[in-house]
Amino acid sequence: MPLPAWVPIREDLRGYEPYGAPQIPDVINLNVNENPYGPSAEVAADIAESVRLAATTLNRYPDREAVQLRADLATYLGHGLTGDRVWAANGSNEVMLHVLQAFGGPGRTALSFAPTYSMYPEYARDTHTRWVTGQREEDFTVDVDRALALIAAEQPDVVLLTSPNNPTGTALPLDTIRAVAEAAPGVVVVDEAYAEFRREGTPSALDVLEEYPRLLVSRTMSKAFALAGGRLGYVAADAAIIDALRIVRLPYHLSAVTQAAAVAALRHSDELLARVDELRSTRDELARWLVGEGYDVAESDANFVLFGRFEDRHAIWQGLVDRGVLIRETGPDQWLRVSVGTPAEMEIFYGALKEVVAT
């Protein structure tokens, strides 16, 4: 529904819809790459106890700098990182907004490689940052020569590399990240929301963080950590880059409740991440099954698989919804994305897809 004309919204925002994947009750959710395994009763109880304690001082503002949480996130990341080199916010989406507020803005340019995460252009729009996209190759990798040519031509203030990429699942080799980090005149953000799901031997940009002071590596607790509802994303970078992000954050942006829940969840990272191996093998099985059924399947280092191709992907998506399975209509035309669920959920998806394509 377009806004009525009397609403004096910014002209460049007129006609837009709020972002959102459909949320449909009583379906199997394979559409937003959540972890299908929630916290155990014990972990939930510990998170609840930490939140209860935080509640006793909710008359006070929270720790503005989230010192303990950032230190704990640094410990989780390893690589010799410390809390002053980690920033945290309400989801890595807010981290990305902070990045564009601090390093983008009017007269500045952000660049990424499509198909990629559909939220980036919205943050660019919201921060009046010019948005430029290069194209990924047929296999959804980023060609280094073409990327460098585009960077040379556009001189972007912010480059966003998503690895593993959403919605394709493609991880970038370190050589690509190094080449871009060396060529880019501004900051380079590697969005590693799905890092924990990457296959054996796939590197993380954290491995080269020390070499590039303008490199940022963002992560989230929403996916592997099974904490999407907690809203906690974070980024590792040079301490001076973190200080730049601190300038644009709202005061007290991370509630005491959020900080307490995230710190408690981090105490149980082993358990929360325990299902990641299982999800990775379910992912590999899912990809094999789709290939076996004759589909094109993008190689995935994430907890979802992009597959196709369909003349009318919307009809397939709708047919699955009608059978109680919600996947995502996103990415290049003719492709669909399915998140990795429990083995039982995948069986239901397989059955439903077979039915839909047979009709």
Ligand X SMILES: *Cc1c(COP(=O)(O)O)cnc(C)c1O
Stretch that binds ligand X, among 48-56, 88-96, 235-243, 251-259 (CB under 6 A): 88-96
Check binding of 117 to ligand X (CB under 6 A). yes
Residue 218 φ then ψ, to 5°: -105, 145
Interface residue with ligand X, options 93, 112, 170, 259 (CB under 6 A): 93
The single-letter DSSP state of residue 7 is S
Check binding of 222 to ligand X (CB under 6 A). yes
**3-state percent helix, strand, coil for the chain, nearest multiple of 5:** 45, 15, 40
Check binding of 91 to ligand X (CB under 6 A). yes
Residue with tokens 């989780």: 76
Closest CA to 274 of 42, 31, 70: 42
Other beta carbons less than 10 A from residue 33's beta carbon: 24
- Tell me how far, at minimum, the Cβ of 166 lies from ligand X, in Å: 4
| Strand ranges for 141-221 from DSSP E | 158-162, 187-191, 215-220
> Residue 193 or 236: which CB sits closer to ligand X?
193
Stretch that binds ligand X, among 4-12, 90-98, 171-179, 311-319 (CB under 6 A): 90-98
Check binding of 204 to ligand X (CB under 6 A). no
Check binding of 87 to ligand X (CB under 6 A). no
Q: What x/- string results for residues 289 through 328 when contact with ligand X is judged by CB under 6 A?
A: ----------------------------------------
> Residue 6 or 19: which CB sits closer to ligand X?
19
Which residue sits closest to ligand X, CB atoms considered?
A: 91
C-alpha span between 65 and 353 (Å, rounded): 48
Two structure tokens written together for 38: 């929630």
Cβ pair 334, 315 in contact under 8 A = no
Interface residue with ligand X, options 50, 92, 282, 300 (CB under 6 A): 92
Number of amino acids touching ligand X (CB under 6 A): 14
User: Of all helices (H) and strands (E), which one includes residue 332?
Assistant: none
Two structure tokens written together for 295: 């589909």
Stretch that binds ligand X, among 45-53, 78-86, 222-230, 253-261 (CB under 6 A): 222-230
Check binding of 170 to ligand X (CB under 6 A). no
Check binding of 168 to ligand X (CB under 6 A). no
> Residue 93 or 259: which CB sits closer to ligand X?
93
C-alpha span between 212 and 253 (Å, rounded): 28
Check binding of 35 to ligand X (CB under 6 A). no
Residue 243 φ then ψ, to 5°: -60, -35
Sign of CA dihedral 236, 223, 161, 159: negative
> Residue 214 or 223: which CB sits closer to ligand X?
223
Two structure tokens written together for 257: 């409740």
Check binding of 62 to ligand X (CB under 6 A). no
- Tell me how far, at minimum, the Cβ of 3 lies from ligand X, in Å: 25
Residue 53 φ then ψ, to 5°: -60, -45
Report the interface residues with ligand X, using CB under 6 A. 33, 91-93, 117, 162, 166, 191, 193, 220, 222-223, 228, 233
